[in-house]
Amino acid sequence: MGIPTEPIGSIPCPETLLAAMGARAQGRIDDAELATVQQAAAADTVARLEALGSPVVTDGEQSKPSFATYPIAGLANLAPDGVVIPFADGHTRQLPHLTYGPFRYATHAEDYLRAAQAHAGVPVKQAVIAPSALSLLYPTTGIGDYPRAQFLDDLAAEAEIDIRTCLDAGAHVVQLDFTEGRLSLKLDPSGGVLDDFIAFNNQVLDRFSERERARIGVHTCPGGDQDSTHSLDIDYADLLPKLFRLKAGVFYIQLASESDPERVLQIVAEHLPQTARVFVGVIDPIDPEVETPEQVRDRVLTAARYLPVDRLGTCDDCGFSPFADDTSTPRDVAFAKISARIEGTALAAEQLGI
């Protein structure tokens, strides 16, 4: 049976794709030419993951502008000066804000999934942005003829489509990226914003059956961009008990980069829903050193002391390049780290006799 292991999502783009992205920005190639290079990069990503023995693959988000903004890229009703996300090293990322309604996705993740499936011989998972993240698009000043309540209704409907079409297309699991959960506690230490995020995400998850929710996961991490994070200093004890209220069947928990992973594992063990599976991070994407399979094995064995082995899996802490222009981690280093995760997880399973 073994211990399941999965990538989180993004993998650094190859040089050919980075060059094509630059050429498109300069107007030297068109969208169709860029899409051809993106698809070649996705096919190469799937092939390399399969060659490493990954039992589940992704397209590495080779065609997404970012993990967060893929649904809204190209929309006309956006202005660039929305919520600012500050990172520990001083750099920032900024979301746009909505200027008028109605709100609709420009792209749904099913398109990425089906393209990856065309190249894959093993199950494909699909990451989608959590609806709570896109709720930040609505401006605090409001939109006169488009109230926030209507926006949230529209957003919930679009998020349901994003998830459901991936499930219907045969995704192994649909993973909601919820990095804003931990960040919300930095922006609002009272926890009120986090409570709102949890409630809104559950409004969407309530639209799915229990069987469907068994194939819906939630990923949490402190962000990872240009070798920095936005909320690693926020105590997991303030996040995880509320995170596990989400009506999902799978949880992906960043752990390798935590200073006290055993304390986190104790919290997870106390609050993990009885029917949920948890994937713990055993690879730190922003650490330039490549973990050894033995290091990974030992991290898995530590987790197995706290968590039911039959509901335990492994993953990377975060995606390796959640924003397409992040080149801080070389592509080959990402694959070397993934290889260590796969090999180390197998070593742990062997030692545990499963």
| CATH code: domain of residue 111 | 3.20.20.210
For the chain, give the percent of residues with pLDDT over 90. Answer: 90
Per-residue pLDDT band for 1 (boundaries 50, 70, 90) equals: low
13-65 pLDDT tens trace: 999 999 999 999 999 999 999 999 999 999 999 999 999 999 999 999 999 98
CB count within 10 Å of CB 207 equals 15
Whether 261 shows a pLDDT value over 90: the answer reads yes
% of the chain at pLDDT higher than 70: 100
Is 52 in contact with 342 (CB distance < 8 Å)? yes
Report how many domains make up the chain.
1
> What mean pLDDT do residues 273-298 have?
97
Mean pLDDT of 129-148: 97
- pLDDT bin (cut points 50, 70, 90) of residue 201 is very high
Predicted local distance difference test score (pLDDT) of residue 21: 93
Q: What is the pLDDT of residue 228?
A: 86
Domain span at residue 229? 5-352
What is the average pLDDT value for the chain, to the nearest integer?
96
Tokens for 199?
A: 């409630």
State both tokens at 194.
């986090």
Q: How confident is the model at residue 181 (pLDDT cuts 50, 70, 90)?
A: very high
Half-sphere exposure of 71 (CA within 13 A, CB side): 24
Q: What are phi and psi of 347, to 5 degrees?
A: -60, -40
48 neighbors 124 (Cβ within 8 angstroms):
no
Tell me if 132 sits within 8 A of 178, measured CB to CB: yes
Q: Which of 245, 154, 151 lies closest to 198, judged by CA?
A: 245
Average pLDDT over residues 10-14: 95
123 preceded by a cis bond (ω within 30 of 0): no
pLDDT, residue 78, reads: 97
Of the pLDDT bands very low, low, confident and very high (cuts 50, 70, 90), residue 208 is very high
Q: What is the 3-state secondary structure (H, E, C) of 88-136?
A: CCCCEEECCEECCCCCCCCCCCHHHHHHHHCCCCCCECEEEECHHHHHH
Two tokens, residue 107: 């792209």
| The pLDDT of residue 199 | 98
Q: What is the pLDDT of residue 172?
A: 98
For the chain, strand residue ranges (E) read 5-6, 78-79, 84-86, 92-94, 97-98, 126-129, 174-177, 216-220, 250-253, 277-283, 312-316
Average pLDDT over residues 298-316: 98
